[in-house]
Amino acid sequence: MRIVTWNVRGLGSKRKRSMIRNLVVSSGADIIILQETKMAKIERRLVSSIWGVRFKEWVSIPAIGRSGGLVVIWNTRSVSVLESLVGLFSVSIKMKGMNGIDWWLTGVYGSNGYRERVSFWEELASLYGLCGPRLDRFLFSTGWEDVFSDARQLALTRVTSDHCPVLLDTNIVKWGPAPFRFENMWLEHPSFKENFKIWWEEEIFQGWEGF
């Protein structure tokens, strides 16, 4: 699974939406979290211009005036969302894990206003009680890391916004077959052939001798 989060500083520009679409396609994202959309409503046409609307679902928070706004969009072919929760500063989705362990993903966009900070932290505290240890700009708990031990976080190239997109990739890295290495000095050991015969006969495997 690949998740991209990005503070896009507005989705009003057609050129910016095209750049976001290129990033989503090139990153192979399954879920995208866009902060500061500056949009009062996320409609199907807008989602289509960002990612294509087929097999896509989303949950969003509207912007207030020309500030804020948050949307979480996912590909239904690769992500199974069981439920969602929308707050004033966050959007959370509960996903069905392939290994049978369900987990929550939360996208957060906090206000810079002093008066809203108390409400913001209260909301995060309530999310902690609901979801348990959670992701927060790709900070994660040790329990989550145990499930996704191969997760990698990458800062992608910054374009059109003064924030870098961040990619969380939980797919296992495929490095290809490991090379076979052997120290030739063992061939000179006096008991090597005898021990090797014993080791060989102890092993049980299927396939040809080079397996």
- Binding-site positions for Mg(2+) read 7, 36
Return binding residues.
7, 36
d(C-alpha 89, C-alpha 121), whole Å: 10
d(C-alpha 5, C-alpha 165), whole Å: 6
What are φ and ψ of residue 32, in 5° steps? Answer: -125, 140
Q: Which of 15, 14, 36 is nearest to 165 (CA)?
A: 36
d(C-alpha 108, C-alpha 72), whole Å: 10
Residue type, 105: L
